[in-house]
Amino acid sequence: MRQLLPLLLLAAVPALGQTQVSPIIDRTDMPATTTTVDSLRLSVASPVLPSTVPPLSQRGANQTWNYSTLTPASQRVESFVSASSVIATSLTYAFIFGPLGGANRATVASPQALPLPVALPIPITDTYQFYATSTAAQQDFRSVGFGASLNGTAIPVTYASAAQQDVIYRFPLSFASLPDSSNSFFSTPAAIATVGYLSQKRKRVNMPDAWGTLVTPFGSFQTVRVVTKLIDHDSVAFGGIPGQGFDIPLTREYKWLAKTQHVPVLTITTSTIGGTETVTGVEYRDSYRRIIRTATRDAATNAVLTAYPNPSAIGAPLMLTVPAGSGPLTVSATDVVGRQLFRRSFNSNSGSLRVDADAFGNFRGVLLLTVQTAQGTATRRLVRE
């Protein structure tokens, strides 16, 4: 028995070590005010994954995922500012998202478009999403609302109630955490509802399904993987015309989270249409890279791709011609130093796509617009005046 006991203790050591290696994500790992313009740079890779990467079905404890062969097609910079700096620009924001906002009080804000696949046909600018990091009593990270300027007036958009805010993560979050879900609902305020109305009902389900070592072109990280399932139902109406509701295809986000990174070090997004799950987006934490556009070019799209008007003006939408029925594609735009202005996905098309003015915000100057399909990419140079 004396000889057997040391052997049992030795056998237990690896199991204890594995438990310690698994990361535990908490509120300090969530987005915080960025200190430099380049502090949260993300590379966007092709949705057609290299054959050498592991399948998304690889899950469990002590995994190794090697995504070092990902190649950036473009880059964007995620930006977070103190909510107080945005609130200071508007008395309306101060009452809604400031210290008197109650459940809507925000801690950080990020310049982002409204999270819907369609845009209001009205000149909204300076769009923000407001977030609240957790307190000792409320251990989570959630979206508390949105904001935009309409003809110079700040318009806040909040969720129907605190219980219907979009809870993105609950803490502590680790491989041992149980699945959790939240149901959220927001709609545009009455101030603009007669011009354009949008609402979204969302069910978010988070399931930690793996932990281990993730390798990307940016480095090696100890991560916990969370699979987020998003079930959305949107409603839209314009100009007083009765609206219609529609279900968005089931979306899954495979997110690898690591300590101190503040954003997922890798996110792979999929859509399920007709029972088939298809990768629609890949982005990962990265440093600045010069994008060399010698990758595969989609000859069919390149042959017919036009963008008009070009030059175009602030407040004007952009129309694109692409091959009809070319399947899922993404449209993105970057400035000349590689900062992404927007990225939008389209599941199908009839040969013509509309990019609404809000996607460009107040940008003026030269930009590169890229259409990405499963066959490759096509790019056009645009001028926004």
Domain ranges in the chain are 27-285, 299-384
Predicted pLDDT of residue 170: 95
Predicted pLDDT of residue 26: 93
What would the pLDDT profile of 67-116 be if each residue is shown by its tens digit?
Answer: 999 999 888 888 898 999 999 888 899 999 998 888 999 999 998 876 65
Residue 19 pLDDT greater than 60, yes or no: no
CA dihedral (47, 53, 57, 60) positive or negative: negative
Residue 13 pLDDT greater than 50, yes or no: no
What would the pLDDT profile of 41-57 be if each residue is shown by its tens digit?
Answer: 999 998 888 889 999 99
What would the pLDDT profile of 217-237 be if each residue is shown by its tens digit?
Answer: 999 999 999 999 999 998 877
Q: Under a CB-based contact definition with an 8 Å cutoff, are residues 211 and 61 in contact?
A: yes
| Reported confidence tier of residue 360, pLDDT bands at 50, 70, 90 | confident
Angle at 283 between CA 370 and CA 36, to 5 degrees: 95
Of 243, 241, 238, the residue nearest 122 (C-alpha) = 238
Q: What tokens appear for 86 in the block? A: 């945005």
Q: What is the pTM of this model?
A: 0.72
CATH number, span 299-384: 2.60.40.3080
Higher pLDDT, 248 or 117: 248
Residue 133 pLDDT greater than 70, yes or no: yes
Of 373, 237, 218, 204, the residue nearest 305 (C-alpha) = 373
Predicted pLDDT of residue 211: 98
Predicted pLDDT of residue 260: 93
Give Cβ neighbours of residue 108 (< 8 Å, ≥ 6 apart): 31, 32, 33, 80, 81, 82, 83, 130, 131, 133
Higher pLDDT, 276 or 258: 258
Q: What tokens appear for 57 in the block? A: 């079905």
Q: Rounded to an integer, what distance in angstroms lies between the CA atom of residue 335 and that of residue 345? A: 19
Mean pLDDT of 306-331: 82
Q: Under a CB-based contact definition with an 8 Å cutoff, are residues 170 and 179 in contact?
A: no
DSSP secondary structure letter of residue 47: S
Predicted pLDDT of residue 262: 92
What would the pLDDT profile of 171-209 be if each residue is shown by its tens digit?
Answer: 999 999 999 999 999 988 776 666 667 789 999 999 999
Predicted pLDDT of residue 65: 98
Mean pLDDT of 292-315: 74
Higher pLDDT, 81 or 381: 81
Distances in whole angstroms, Cα of residue 337 to Cα of each of 43, 110, 115, 256, 263:
13, 20, 26, 27, 22
Round the average pLDDT of the chain to a whole number and report it.
Answer: 83
Mean pLDDT of 318-341: 78
Residue 121 pLDDT greater than 70, yes or no: no
| Half-sphere exposure for 303 (CA within 13 Å, toward CB) | 6
Q: Where would I find the H helices in the chain?
A: 4-21, 83-87, 91-97, 190-193, 299-304
| 318-321 vs 306-308, strand pairing mode | antiparallel
Higher pLDDT, 29 or 152: 29
Residue 120 pLDDT greater than 80, yes or no: no
What would the pLDDT profile of 232-265 be if each residue is shown by its tens digit?
Answer: 998 877 666 556 678 888 999 999 999 999 999 9
Mean pLDDT of 20-33: 86
What would the pLDDT profile of 145-160 be if each residue is shown by its tens digit?
Answer: 999 887 788 889 999 9
What would the pLDDT profile of 307-316 be if each residue is shown by its tens digit?
Answer: 888 888 888 8
Predicted pLDDT of residue 18: 42
Residue 8 pLDDT greater than 60, yes or no: no
Strand boundaries in 286-328, DSSP class E: 306-308, 318-321
Predicted pLDDT of residue 264: 96
